[in-house]
Amino acid sequence: MKYRVFAANWKMNIGPLEAREYLRSFFSAGQLPRGCGVWFFPPAVSVEAVARGVAGHDNIAVGVQDIYWEPKGAFTGAISGAIASQAGARMTLVGHSERRHVFGETDEQTGKKVAAALAADLSPLLCVGETLAQREAGETIAVISRQLEAALAGRAAGQSRVTVAYEPVWAIGTGRNATPQDAADVHKEIRAWLAKHAPGIVRILYGGSVNLKNVAQLLAEPELDGVLVGGASLDPHGWAELVRTGAA
Ligand code: PEP
């Protein structure tokens, strides 16, 4: 049975008090299936509550949604990898499309964040993906290769700790997911790029409007090592059911 990852990006939802309640409901839904990992990415202030709530569950990990690349200093509002780690984070998202497109994060900045994450002993989940206009212009692979290059070039050390998530921007939060075939085609291209330039990275997740109805079909595609899920991870029972369905 193939090991699969189910990553939950809560975005700007679920504070620390709600997180405790969420985990109570999530665990009340029963044991997690074997052969899968569940990764939670709560808002930074909820990381400690989630880390405490999942302690002792070896197949569950907690991460932050973003870090700043400097280790410390006068950067009001930012958090470093080391601070996230103190709160219990073991991972961080890097280059999520909302960081890139809402907050204007550049490819160069995602590269600095990957380096900072590795330096702080956090495992980066690097998000890449094209906009609808780029897809329609036939630029999908060029855009993704550029994003991978900027984030990973010259970062051979620690490479094996990086996971890549293919998240087409047009599929995030829109209810319009890539078909399993579309996702698999791009995953193959990403895998080929990684084999050539960053062979330590082996895991590629798909993200973009994954839900209970489409998760099994998407994960039936062997190219997908797991899913990164926003909206459908916010309800604890629904998330537990999605994990169970996808891991079956
Ligand atoms: C995401 O936030 O990474 C995401 C894929 O969101 P959604 O599942 O809501 O499309």
CA of 20 to the centre of ligand 1 (A): 22
CATH 3.20.20.70 fits 4-247, yes or no: yes
Q: Is 229 in the pocket of ligand 1 (CB under 6 A)?
A: yes
Q: What is the SS3 assignment for 6? A: strand
What token pair was written down for 131? Answer: 């906009």
The pLDDT of residue 181: 95
Q: Give, rounded to a whole angstrom, the gap between the first and last alpha carbons of the chain.
A: 9
**Does residue 57 have an active-site annotation?**
no
Question: Tens place of pLDDT for every residue, the chain, 248 residues?
Answer: 789 999 999 999 999 999 999 999 999 988 888 899 999 999 999 999 999 999 999 999 999 999 999 999 999 999 999 999 999 999 999 999 999 999 999 999 999 999 999 999 999 999 999 999 999 999 999 999 999 999 998 777 788 999 999 999 999 988 888 899 999 999 999 999 999 999 988 999 999 999 999 999 999 999 999 999 999 999 999 999 999 999 98
Q: Whose CA is nearest to atom 2 of ligand 1?
A: 230
- SS3 breakdown of the chain: % helix, strand, coil, rounded to 5? 45, 15, 40
The CA 73 to ligand 1 mean position distance, Å, reads 32
Residue 105 designated active-site: no
Q: How far is CA 37 from CA 9, 58, 168, 198, 244, in A?
A: 14, 9, 23, 23, 11
CB-based contact 186:164 (threshold 8 Å): no
188 φ, ψ (degrees, to nearest 5): -60, -40
Tracing tokens 């709160």 back to the chain, one arrives at 87
Instruction: Specify the amino acid at residue 136.
Output: E
At residue 173, the pLDDT reads: 85
Encoded tokens for 54: 């999942």
Best probe residue, ligand 1, of 64, 209, 233 (max atoms within 8 Å of C-beta): 209
pLDDT at residue 153, rounded to an integer: 85
For 172, residues 6+ apart whose C-beta sits below 8 A from its C-beta are: 97, 98, 129, 207, 208, 209, 230
Closest atom, ligand 1, to C-alpha of 127: 3
Ligand 1 neighbourhood includes 65 CB (under 6 angstroms): no
